[in-house]
A and B are shown apart, each in its own frame.
Chain A
C-alpha cells in the first residue's frame, strides 16, 4: 500500500489538464469510511482538489455495567462488568489531492460508495465548472454550485471554532517558525484576507454576518502573471523559489538610494523601499530573474499588507487572518506578509495564518450541504490519527515534503458527543493556555518526551493486547497501532508543529486517537477494574482511622492520602514497573515514598488556615486515576468537604484515557461507596455530591473545552473552589491557569526528568493553593469553626 502511495507521489503531473489514470490509489488509507459516506462536497482550485464527505465510523467502546448487588456477594467476584460494544460515531473526512488525480479518485469513490441516499454534490472553487460534467457522469450526483467566498468564510468559522491551535503567527527565524494561537472561544469579529488571483477582504461578524469590505486587483495572479512575464518562469512555486533566492535591493530604489541614508525626521530607515522597481528604469542594465522575482514578491506582499492594515484600522479589528493560494503555507509569502503587517501597524496587528487554510472552501461547501444535520450545533475535534498535519512548507528545507505534497493530504474530524465550552471560572479565557510547556519551542523537553513516549510504546502495545484476551486478532491490530503511533512520533520529531503546538497533552491525545483507531478503546479496563475492586475493600477502614485523628491531624492525613493515592498511576514510568510486579504495593507504602514537608510547592499552611474559616459553597473536583487514588485518596477528602457543608461536584472523563477513572466507572464506584458510608449516601441523595462528565477523554485537561453541562452546573452551584489533581491535569496542564475562585492543584511528580526541571526530585509534591488577586478570603474575619 505504502509503495503505491510513494509512486503516486513521484509521478508529478505538470498541470491539471491531463489526467493520470495509471496511478494506483491506496484506497483505505485515503478515502476512508466510504461505505456510509454522504453529503459530498468538492472544491476544485487551480491545481488542487479538495473533497469532503460525512461518514459514520463503527468502533468499539468499552462499557461498564454494574452487577445486580441485591444478591449476596461472593468473594472474588468483580465489582462490575466490562463489555465491548460497537458504536457509530460521526466523522468528517477532508482529502486534498492534485487535480491530475480527479478522474481516478472519482472512479474509486463511485466503486466504493454504497449509500444511495446522496443525490447532490456541493461544489465550489474556480475549477468546479470545468469538471462539472465529469463529476456528474462519474458519480451520478448532481453538481450544486456554492458561492466560493461564502464557503470560505463558513469553513474559516468552523476550523477556528473547532480546531485548537488552528491559527498561527509565522516567525521566520525563530526556533519554531509557527507560533500557534490558542483558539479563543469568541472568534468574532475578524478580518479575512483572501489572496487568490486578486485580493478580497472580508469582515466577519458572526456565523452568518459577513461583508466584503474591500479588495485589490494586485494579488497572487499579479505575482504569477507579472512574474512569468519578467522571468519566463511558468510555475507559481518556481517563481516563489526564485524569489527566495533574490536580492530586491538590486531592483528596488531604497530610501538610502535617494537620501544616501535614512530619512530621519520621518523615521524611514535607509533600507525601506521607496520605489519598487525604481532602479530598473534603465535600458542598459540586466537584472537577474531571482532579483526581479524577489522585488515583485515584496511589492505585492507590502501592498496587500498595507491595505489589510488600512481596513483593520477602519473597522477597528485586530484579528486578521490570511488565506488563498498566494499564502497556502508558503513560508516566503507568510514571511513577507508578516513583515509588511508589522511594519504598517507598528506591531499592533499580527498576521495570522491557518493550518487548514487549503480546506476552508470545501469545509464551507460541505457545511452548506449538511445544514440539516446541524453540524454547527456540535463540537468537533481534529483526529490526530487520521489527519496528515501541517507540512513543513519549504521544499528546499525538506525534500521529503516535496514528494508528499504531490500525493494526498487528509483532515479528519470527529463529532464529539458533547458540546464543549469554557470553564466559566477562567479568570481570562482569552489568555488561557492549558499547556505548561510548549515542546515545539523547547527542544530539550521535546527530545525527552518524544523519547519517553517511544520507550513506553512496547508497554502500551502489550497492555492493549492484554485488554482483549478474547480477540485473537488483537495482536495484529496492536502492531498496526504501534506502527501508526511510531510514525506519528517520527513525524512530530521532524515537524513538531504538525498539529499545532506540540505538548505532552497532544502526545497523549495522539496516542489515545491511535488506540481508538485500531479499536483499543480502553486498554486499562481490566486493570482499573481490579484496582477499584481492591481499593473498595479498604475504604471503610481508611475512613475509620481518619476519624480517630484530631481535626488538624486529619486535615493533613487527608491531603497526604490524596497525594499518596496519586502515586498509583499506571501511566507513570517510575511506578508502573513496581506496580506491575507487586499489585499489593500498598497505600501505606506509597505514603512513605512521599516527600516530607516542606514540599516542592507547599501552600498547605495557607490551606489549613482557610479550612479554619467558613466552608466553601461548592467544590469542583477534577479527578484522576482509578483505584486507590479515587477511592482511598479522593473520596475521604470529599467526604470531609461534605461534612464541612461544602457541596462537591466530581468531574471525570467522558471516555477512557489510561487508567483515569471514567464517568461511568465513577458512578458505579459512588454507588458502592454510598452503600457503605452514610455521609456519602445522604450527600448523593440530597444532591450535595454530584457526578458530571468533563467532556474530555484525555489524561490532561483543557479548561477551555469542557462539557457544556458541566459549565451549567458550575454556574448553578456557584462553585467557589476548584480542585485539580494529578500530573496530567495539574502539572502538564493548568499549572499556570488562573481561576476566578480559590483553587487547589495537587500532584506527585512521578517522572524524574520533570522533577529535575521543576527543581525537585522523584515523588516531590506540588501543593498549590491559590486565591485570585483581590479575592476576599473570609478566613481572618471569622472565628474558626471547628468541624464535628
Chain B
C-alpha cells in the first residue's frame, strides 16, 4: 500500500515545508496536513490546489484531545494506517518571545507553552500509535534484518522550553584534564523488570562493559576501591564508578562512543575541564555528541561537597595525618568536613589551582602554579626515562633526596642559627647536581625522590602563604597528583604544620581527583530536574 504521511502543524514554517518536500520527493499515496485553522492557511491551501487528490487538510488544535482523537479516527477510517507522523507545532511563548523576567511569567502562558510543545505530541502519539504500528515502513532507512525493521516513524519537532527530561540513562560526568580524563558513571541497581525489558541494547552493553571490567584498553582504569555503593541520586539507587584514562587516549574514547552509537542514547554529555573545550568539536564531528561544557572550578567544588556529604561505604571521606611532624610515624586519621567553610582548596593536577571557598557558590581562585603533577612526571620522564606516574612514584619511594638537594647543613655545617633554619632543611633543590662528580654518581631513584619532594614542598609553601594571606586555617588538598602518593601527603601535612607552627591543618579526601567529574554528573542531573 502506498505511503501515508501526516504533518501536524502544517500551516506555515517547517510543517509547510515538510509537506512541500514530501509531495515532491516521496509522491505518497496520501498526505494529511493538519492545522489549527485551515481557513487562515492560504499557503497550505494553495499547495492542496497544486496537488489535487494527493493531499487532505484536517482541522486539528494540538491542545484539544478531541481534535486529535477525531483526526486519528478519520485516518483510520480512510487509510487504515500511517507511515510517518511529523509533529511540528511548537512555540516559545504565546507572546512570541520568551520571558526574561519573572514579571513576564503567566501561569496560562506556561501551561499553553507546555501543552503545545510537550503534551500535544504525547497525546498525538497516544492516538496514532496503533496506526503507526500498522504502517508499512515506507519512510526512513530500513536495516536488512527483518526483526529490526520499523513500521512507522513519529518525528517530534518542538521547542526546548517545553522539554521535561526523564533522567535518561546512562548517567555520566566527565572531567577532561591536561593529563587525565576522569569519568564517573552511575550504575542503577534498582532497574525494574519492565525497565530491563525496555532498556535498549547499547545502553545495556555500556553498563555491562563498564561494570564488569576494571581496565579498559591499555590505559583506562576503574578505581574499584573508590566505588560508592548504594548511592541514591535523583531518586535512583545504584553504584557510582570512578574511571580514568590518559587525555592522550581521548580520540580513541570518542571513537568508541561513535562505534557504540552513544548518540542514540544521549545527544548531550556533561563535561568539564579544559578538554571539554578542546575536544568539543571532535565529539561533535566524530560521535555526533554535544558537550555541555561546565566550569571546572564550579564542578570541583560541587562535586567535592557532594561526595563528602554521602557515605563512602561506611568509611570516612576526609582524613588528616596525626603527628605530622614525624613523617615516619604520622597516622592517617579520619575526620569530618561537616563545617567546611572557609577552606583553601588546593587542586593538584597537571598544574595547580588554589581556591578560597567561602560557601558552595562563593569562591575565588587565589592563584595557581605551573609546578604541579605534570611537572613531576614530565621532569621524571626526562631525568629517569620512566614512562608512568606509578613508575615515577615507585622510584621516588625508594630514593633519597638528600643526595640531590643541598641542605642547610651542607652549606653552614649545621643549623643556620642567625635565621633559625634547621640543618636538615633543603637550601637548594637539586643543588648538589651543580657538581659534575655528584651528577655522575646519582641514582634514578634519588632523582625521582628529589623531584617529588621539590614539587610537593613548593606547592606546600605557596598554599601556606595563600592560607595566611586569605586568613584561612583549613587547607584541603585534592587532585590526582596525590593518588597513591603517601610521600607527598606526608610532606604536605608536615609543611602545613611546621611552617604555621601548628596553626594550619592539611586535609585530604579519598576521592582525590574525581570531584570535577562528579560535579559534571550533578550538573547533568540538575539540568534534567529543572526544565
- Write the residues of chain A forming the contact surface with B, with a CB cutoff of 8 angstroms: 126, 147, 149-150, 196-198, 200, 212, 214, 216-222, 224-226, 228-230, 234, 251-253, 255, 257-261, 263, 265-266, 273-283, 287, 292, 299, 302-303, 306-307, 310-311, 313-314, 344
Contacts and interface: CB of A to CB of B under 8 A. Distances in A.
A218 B350 contact: no
Given A217-B454, A225-B431, A275-B372, A306 B367 contact: yes
A313 B470 CA distance: 11
A226 B375 contact: no
B430 A222 contact: yes
B382 A278 contact: no
A314 B366 CA distance: 14
Contacts of A311: 465
B426 interface: yes
Contact of B278 (A258, A276, A292): A258
Nearest to A275: B374
A198 B379 contact: no
A306 B462 contact: yes
Contact of A217 (B350, B387, B427, B439): B427
B365 A299 contact: no
Tell me which of A230, A260, A273, A277 has the highest count of chain B C-beta atoms within 10 A of its own C-beta.
A277
Nearest to B296: A263
B468 A314 contact: yes
A2 to B, nearest CB: 35
B490 interface: no
Given A222-B454, A302-B370, A197 B428 contact: yes
Contact of B434 (A225, A257, A276): A225
Given A229-B447, A313-B469, A221 B369 contact: no
Interface in B157-185: 177-179
Interface string B363-386: 001010111111101111111010
A518 B296 CA distance: 71
A275 B434 contact: no
B295 A234 contact: no
A258 B178 contact: yes
B458 interface: yes
Contacts of A216: 458, 461
Given A277-B375, A281-B378, A225 B369 contact: no
A257 B458 contact: no
A219 B404 CA distance: 14
A64 B374 CA distance: 76
Given A149-B419, A221-B428, A225-B431, A299 B277 contact: no
Contact of B379 (A150, A200, A226): A226
B468 A259 contact: no
Contact of B382 (A220, A292, A314): A292
A220 B427 CA distance: 11
Contacts of A344: 367
A253 B436 CA distance: 30
B158 to A, nearest CB: 32
Contact of A228 (B295, B425, B439): B439
B381 A253 contact: no
Nearest to B465: A310
A221 B374 contact: no
30 contacts: A126-B411, A149-B418, A197-B434, A198-B428, A216-B461, A219-B428, A221-B406, A221-B429, A225-B431, A228-B439, A229-B383, A252-B370, A257-B178, A258-B273, A260-B277, A260-B279, A263-B274, A275-B349, A276-B375, A276-B378, A278-B350, A278-B351, A278-B372, A281-B377, A303-B369, A306-B462, A307-B465, A310-B462, A311-B465, A314-B465
A253 B177 CA distance: 11
Interface in B170-225: 177-179
Contacts of B469: 310, 313-314
Contact of A197 (B418, B419, B431, B454): B431
Contacts of B468: 314
Contacts of A198: 406, 426-429, 431
B350 A258 contact: yes
B457 interface: yes
Interface residues of B, number: 62
Contacts of A230: 379, 382-383
Given A224-B434, A258-B273, A283-B381, A275 B458 contact: no
Contacts of A282: 381
A281 B374 contact: yes
B275 interface: yes
B431 A221 contact: yes
Given A225-B431, A258-B350, A217 B457 contact: yes
B405 interface: yes
Interface of B: 177-179, 273-275, 277-280, 295, 297, 349-351, 365, 367, 369-375, 377-383, 385, 387, 404-406, 411, 418-419, 421, 425-434, 436, 439, 447, 454, 457-458, 461-462, 465-466, 468-469
B92 to A, nearest CB: 28
A278 B179 contact: yes
Contacts of A149: 418-419
B311 to A, nearest CB: 33
Given A230-B383, A281-B179, A310-B462, A259 B274 contact: yes
Contacts of A234: 436
B178 A280 contact: no
B434 A306 contact: no
Nearest to B405: A217
Given A147-B418, A275-B378, A229 B454 contact: no
Nearest to B386: A283
Nearest to B247: A258
A259 B421 CA distance: 42
Contacts of B387: 283
A307 B439 contact: no
Given A225-B430, A281-B179, 18 more contacts: A149-B418, A197-B434, A212-B419, A212-B421, A217-B426, A217-B427, A217-B458, A218-B454, A224-B430, A225-B434, A229-B433, A260-B280, A266-B297, A276-B351, A281-B374, A303-B371, A303-B458, A313-B469
A279 B349 CA distance: 14
A277 B379 contact: yes
A260 B431 contact: no
A222 B428 contact: yes
Contacts of B434: 197, 221, 224-225, 228
Contacts of A255: 274
A325 to B, nearest CB: 11
A257 B247 CA distance: 11
Between A220, A252, A260, the greatest number of chain B beta carbons within 10 A of the residue's beta carbon is seen for A260
Nearest to A313: B469
A197 B425 CA distance: 14
A310 B466 contact: yes
A311 B469 CA distance: 9
B197 to A, nearest CB: 42
Nearest to B431: A221
Nearest to A282: B381
Nearest to B295: A265
Contacts of B425: 217
A224 B432 CA distance: 10
A436 B428 CA distance: 46
A211 to B, nearest CB: 8
A542 to B, nearest CB: 68
Contacts of A263: 274
Given A149-B419, A253-B351, A314-B465, A275 B367 contact: no
A278 B380 CA distance: 11
A280 B378 contact: yes
B325 to A, nearest CB: 19
B470 to A, nearest CB: 10
Contacts of A217: 405, 425-429, 431, 454, 457-458
A222 B375 contact: no
Contacts of B458: 216-218, 303
Given A275-B374, A299-B370, A225 B433 contact: yes
Contacts of B426: 198, 217
